[in-house]
Structure formats: C-alpha cells, structure tokens
Amino acid sequence: MKNRKPLPAIALIAGGSGDRDLLSVRAAALLDQAEVVVCDPEVTDLIAGADVDVLDLPTAVTDTAIVAKALVEQARAGRHAVRIFAGDPVGDGRVIAEAKALHRSKVPFEILPTAADVTGIAAYAGINLVGGKAKHLRVVDLLTSEVDSETLADTSSSLIIRNGADSAAGIAKAALAAGRTPGTHMVVVRGGATVEQQTIVTTLGEAVAELKAAKLAGPGDVFLGEAVGTATALGWFESRPLFGWRVLVPRTKDQAGELSAQLRLYGAVPVEVPTISVEPPRTPQQMERAIEGIESGRYQWIAFTSVNAVKAIRERFEQRGLDARHLAGLKIAAIGDSTAEALREFGVRADLVPLPEQQSSAGLLEVWPERDEELDPIGRVFLPRADIATEKLVAGLNDLGWEVDDITAYRTVRAAPPAAEIREAIKTGGFDAVVFTSSSTVRNLVGIAGKPHASTVIAAIGPETAATATEHGLKVSVQPEQAKIEVLAAALAEHGEFLRQTARENGERTWRPSKRRGAGRRRATKK
C-alpha cells in the first residue's frame, strides 16, 4: 500500500467583529498558514494584505453545500483552506451546518470559536447584561424572527435585539406599550466591537427624540433592560483618544510592529506601509576593515546613530564568530534610547547617550567630549551609518578634534509604491494621521506615494525628522519631547484628545481629521 500524504485540515474560524487581535492564538496561526480563503464580506479586514487566494463564493446559510464542496476540493489539492465567518457562527448554527457537510466528505477539519458576538459587543460598549431584577438574557434576531409584546415586557430578562438598530425607535414605543417604564435603559450599538462603533445610551422615554437627533443609520443591535445602562459611565472603547483613527505608519517592515502596537492602545487603526528596506552595503570591504580595526584596537569610540546600525554591526560580528565581548575597552555612544536599548539586547551598555529632549546628531555632539591628546591617545571614532546619512555628525566630531572612520554599514533602498487605494487615501485625506520616525521615511513616502493631504495630522519623532517634513511642505502638528516610539504615540494621542475636546466644545460629533476635511470646516489649533 502506498503511503498517502495526509490532507491539510480545513479551518472553520469564527471571525467575530473582524478584529484580528480578538482571534484565538490557534485561529491566528491557522489564518497565517492559509493558502486559500472563503470569507464573509463583513470580516474581509482579517485577510487584508495577506498572500492568499480568495474564493468568490456566496456565503449565505443556504449556500452551505457550495462552500463545503469548494473547501473540500482545495484540501484534496493539498492546499490549506480556511473558512472565515462573521460574528459568532456557533451561536447562529452556520458553522455546524458547514461542518456537517465537511464531515460527510471525510476531509479533516477543525472549528475555531471566538468570543460570542453578543457578549463581545456588550463588552466593547461597556454594557452589563444581568443585574438587579434582570436575572436572565434573551436574544432575538430581527433577521429571522420578530420580538413579541411578552418578550418586551419581561423585566426579569435583559433583552438583546440583533439587527434592531434601525428599528430602535419603534422598539422603544412597543416596549412602552407592553408595560415597560419610561426610565428603562436602552443602548443602541452600531458597528459593535469595531473602530466604527457608535453607541447611544438612552431610556425608553427619551429614545425616540435622541435617536432622531443622532441621525445615525446602519446595522447594529439594541440592548434593553434594567442592567444595561452602565455604558453611560464606562464607554471605555469609544473614549480612547485616537478611536477609529486610520494612522499611516511608513517604516521599514520589520520595525513597524512596536509603533503600531502603541497606536492600537489609543484606539487607532495603524496601516503599515513599507517605504524603505535595509540592505547590506554594495561593497563590504570598508566594513570588514572597520571590524578588523575593532579587533586590533584602532578605535577609542564607536558611535551608533540608529537601531539599524546596531543590527548591521551585530550581524557582521556573528558572521565572523565574534560577540559583544569584542567591544570591551571601547567607549560606546548611542544617539537615543531606542538605539541604546538595541545595544543592551546585544549585551553592550552605552557610555554616552544624549538627554531625552536632545536625541539627535546635534544632541549627541552637545555631550560628546573634546579630544584630549594625553587622555585620548587613539583619537579615532568608528561611525557605522546609513548610506544617506548627513555629514553633520562627522563635521562636528572633527571640530572636537576626533578623526572619524565614516563607514556605510547599511543601505536604505526605496520600496515599491503602495497599492493604488493607499496612494489615493494619502493624497485625498483618507488617513487621519501620518507618523514619521525618520527623515528617510518622509522622503521615501513622498517619493513613492505623494504628499499627505493638508487635513492629515503630521507627527514627527524628532527635530531632524520634523525639519525634513517641513522641507517637503508638510505642517508638523505633533513632535514629542523625547525621540521614543512610545512617547511619539502618546503625543499623538494627546493631540487627538485635544481635537476631541475642541470638537465637543463646538458641538461637533466627530474629531477625526479624515471626517472633518473640507473647505468650510472649522479648524482646531492649539494656543
């Protein structure tokens, strides 16, 4: 008997609201392995940018057999197939229906659940579901059934009406007619557990007027009962200062993660666009001689001006079988805290780091000691840097009496232009903010995608980056006191909160720059 290669298991993943961070670790891992995907249209963000084939299939409940057949064909062809459902397909039975069809095919599969959609939305809106007289929870979906007077009148239960947002005024009137008191809490949530979430907290007696004033439309859910009014006080999700902001992060691909993670803490949706890639120098001979110079005692100082410079030296050391011990006896300078942290990860402590508010080439020169020929007999500095670095640091060190071996340790190469929709969003104000972490990201983003729209908030990590942005015709609104990723994200969040408060004082519902752009809008400016 021939040994058969086992078929890859089909993954049935509950996508919830479409937030990848809410997937289980197992579901996220299987999604990363996917080669072909069938996805509900509501959660396509889960596969945005992924290198997968997307099967264009109908995914309604009645199309179970079609979807299952397509998944089986892909699995039998040896491909990792993933089916992604919107919401909670276990709760509404969709995943079980497709699983039964797969079971009959004898193809292996697994079901990856998520947090129940109902409780997930409640959590993100800060809604309590039971408490006081409300001891139970009842759920009605208007897409498949109607809510009757008996259910509306039941004070022993909190009532969740799925897909009831656009009927909320009528539901409020019907609940009052069924005997509910005007003070009964009602919460209407649209776009629940997404960055488009909009929550209205009201009572049955005030619901009609407040819903009319809000002028909101679109799918969503209604929560009704004694226990649900806590959303007024909590509202933790929507109250974050950058809630819903689309923030462009133009960085090297392997360096975008930390900044994106920080931005998410403040409610933003980071969109990473690689603008540069870091590559070895075209001619490595200079670097090889410099490494030999470290071993032979040619240098007194090594000055690291970026995390990439640390990475380049570390890689060269590893190629030659060296480690951090070979830097013993040398004095080490780092231009900023991020670079110093990269050195610590390498096992090296920086001897010289500028103050937090001066972390630039100019700041490093401010604290660099003037050479004393008696105390500094070697008098030579090794400066590993990018191929496009400025000459300011070299000139400044020369003025202080030091000889500098200015060596190209790595090259920064401009990336390919981003997708057309990204370029269009950059030019037309579709992004709320752009966060620049170096002068090269400014130059390269403008070069490959064009200049950001005037309505877009520009944030720059330090004075040199801000100066480059200004040179390219951009107005820098955010510049932190310290050139650190986490401080930069916090500064943007502070600016976002300022815009929120200003909008609130002006009686405006939105403070997102992308939603406020236009010739006639009022612009908020700090005094």
Q: Which two tokens stand for residue 228?
A: 């649900």
Q: Are 12 and 85 in contact (CB under 8 A)?
A: yes
Angle at CA of residue 508, ends 505 and 514, nearest 5°: 120
Q: Who has greater pLDDT, 495 or 523? A: 495
Q: Who has greater pLDDT, 278 or 316? A: 316
**pLDDT (0 to 100) of residue 356:** 78
Helix (H) or strand (E) holding 38: strand 36-39
Is the pLDDT reported for residue 509 higher than 50?
yes
**pLDDT (0 to 100) of residue 390:** 65
Rounded to 10 deg, the angle between the 207-214 and 168-177 helix axes is: 180
Is the pLDDT reported for residue 5 higher than 70?
no
Q: For residue 421, how many other CB atoms are within 10 A of its CB?
A: 9
Beta pairing, strands 198-203 & 185-190 = antiparallel
Angle at CA of residue 284, ends 278 and 287, nearest 5°: 95
Q: For residue 281, how many other CB atoms are within 10 A of its CB?
A: 17
Domains of the chain, first to last: 10-115 (3.40.1010.10), 118-232 (3.30.950.10), 246-275+415-516 (3.40.50.10090), 279-414 (3.40.50.10090)
**pLDDT (0 to 100) of residue 6:** 67
Is the pLDDT reported for residue 386 higher than 70?
yes
Beta pairing, strands 331-334 & 276-279 = unpaired
Distance, CA of 139 to CA of 120 (rounded, Å): 14
Distance, CA of 43 to CA of 422 (rounded, Å): 19
Distance, CA of 415 to CA of 255 (rounded, Å): 14
- Digit-coded pLDDT (tens) for 233-245: 677 888 899 999 9
Beta pairing, strands 403-414 & 276-279 = antiparallel
Contacts of 153 (CB under 8 A, 6+ apart): 175, 178, 179, 180
Q: In 77-196, which residue ranges form alpha helices assigned H by DSSP?
A: 94-105, 117-125, 149-153, 168-177
* Region 409-433 average pLDDT: 91
Q: What sign does the CA torsion over 512, 514, 516, 522 have?
A: positive
- The amino acid sitting at 516 is R
Is the pLDDT reported for residue 521 higher than 80?
no
- C-alpha 228 chain-centroid distance: 30
**pLDDT (0 to 100) of residue 254:** 57
**pLDDT (0 to 100) of residue 526:** 40
- Digit-coded pLDDT (tens) for 426-448: 999 999 999 999 888 999 999 99
- Digit-coded pLDDT (tens) for 63-100: 888 999 999 999 999 999 999 998 888 877 889 889 99
Beta pairing, strands 301-304 & 380-386 = parallel
Contacts of 511 (CB under 8 A, 6+ apart): 496, 499, 500, 502, 503, 504
- Digit-coded pLDDT (tens) for 53-63: 999 998 887 78
Helix (H) or strand (E) holding 399: helix 392-399
Helix (H) or strand (E) holding 186: strand 185-190
- Digit-coded pLDDT (tens) for 157-202: 999 999 999 999 999 999 999 999 999 999 999 988 888 899 999 9
For residue 252, name the pLDDT band (cuts at 50, 70, 90): low
- C-alpha 430 chain-centroid distance: 16
